[in-house]
Structure 1
Amino acid sequence: MAEKHVQPDSKSKGPLAAAALICSGMAFSAQCAWGQAEVGITVRNYSGTSLSGSPVRGGVPFARGVLRECSQARLQVKDGLELPCRVRPIARWHDGSVKWLLVDTQVDIARDGELKLSLSPGKPSAAPKRPVVVQDTADAVVVDTGPARFQFPKKTFGLPGAAWADLDGDGRAETQVMVQPGEFVCEVEHQPPGPPTEENWLRDAAGGPRETFRAGPAGDCKAEVESADDLHAVIKLSGWLVNGQGRKLIQYVIRVHAYAGQP
Structure 2
Amino acid sequence: MYLITVLGNLLIILTISSDSHLHTPMYFFLSNLSFVDICFVSTTVPKMLVNIQTHSRDISYRRCLTQVYFFMILSGMDSFLLTVMAYDWFVAICHPLHYTVIMSPCLCVLLVLMSWFIMFWNTLLHILLMLQLTFSMGTEISLFFCDLSQVLKVAQSDTLINNIILYVMTAVLGVFPVTGILYSYSQIVSSLLRMSSTASKYKAFSTCGSHLCVVSLFYGTGLGVYLSSAVTHSSQRNSIASVMYTVVTPMLNPFIYTLRNKDVKGILRKLLNRVSSCL
User: TM over 0.5, yes or no?
Assistant: no
The higher-RCO structure (CA 8 Å, 6+ apart) is 2
TM-score range, shorter chain: under 0.3
Name the structure with the higher helix share. 2
TM-score (norm 1): 0.25
Name the structure with the higher strand share. 1
| Larger gyration radius, structure 1 or structure 2 | 1
